[in-house]
Amino acid sequence: MFEWKETYSVGIKEIDKQHKNLLGIGEELVYVMENTTKGLDQYDEVKRLLKELYDYTIYHFTSEEELMEKHDFLELPSHQFQHKLFVKKLEEIDLEEFDNDQLETTNQLLDFIANWITKHILKEDQKYSKIIREKEA
């Protein structure tokens, strides 16, 4: 679900590294979900990982947007808007709801995160990739 694939590469080392780190946090969430299915209470661990995901997402989006701005990427406003929507979704996660139904909430959360990250990398991030690599060459 959160396994790195070469098709995700944008050809920019630092951004690829950051994408791998985001996927790594997702892998940790999968591990926690597996423990939830075994009946273990994972509230504290999920809360910690969501904070880590949120913080790292802000760091990554800032890095990515600064790179796009540096290279006058015309679709930056649209890209920033998509980033804001993702951050808003993370901010809206109801931890009380999660605590009441950890398994279902974790499954929904993992699906959302995995789908958003992979679709965003494969579609939106590829748009700036070629332009920036050409300008930096």
Residue 102 has pLDDT above 80, yes or no: no
Are 11 and 129 in contact by the 8 Å Cβ rule? The answer is yes
Quote the CA–CA distance of 101 and 96 in Å, as a whole number.
9
pTM comes to 0.90
Left (φ > 0), alpha (ψ -120 to 50) or beta: where does 3 sit?
beta
**Residues 19-48, mean pLDDT to the nearest whole number:** 85
- pLDDT confidence of residue 78: 96
